[in-house]
Amino acid sequence: MKKFSWDVFAIKITSRKFWVALAGLATSVMAFMQCDSNTIVQVTAIIGALGSVVGYLIANGLTEDVFTATTETAGTEEKKGV
């Protein structure tokens, strides 16, 4: 069994396919439970918005990680005289 990887998790959770599947699941369950259409639309909209925010936050965090690592590497090379 593979170990849990935050990198793979970040890729999966930022996938639009994941959020569309989650919204589809919620819509299907709510339709099965005979919720009114306004409620279904509101829940689907919230899931879509949440997916956008999560995707942005993770992408921004990964970008800053790369920037920080690049900056630290460049600083180390300057100290060595490279």
3-state secondary structure 65-77: HHHHHHHHHHHHH
Q: How far apart are the C-alpha atoms of 14 and 63, rounded to whole Å?
A: 14
Domain range for 72:
47-82
Q: How far apart are the C-alpha atoms of 2 and 6, rounded to whole Å?
A: 12
Stretch 12-25: mean pLDDT, rounded? Answer: 89
Q: What is the pLDDT of residues 22-80, one digit of tens each?
A: 999 999 999 999 999 999 999 999 999 999 898 888 888 878 777 777 766 666 655 55
**Which pLDDT score is estimated for 82?**
53
Who contacts 15 (Cβ-Cβ below 8 Å, separation ≥6)? none
Stretch 8-19: mean pLDDT, rounded? Answer: 85
**Which pLDDT score is estimated for 3?**
85
pTM of the model: 0.65
Residue 51 lies in a domain: yes
Domains of the chain: total: 1
**Which pLDDT score is estimated for 1?**
73
C-alpha distances in Å from residue 58, one per residue of 14, 50, 51, 65: 7, 12, 11, 10
Residue 61 lies in a domain: yes
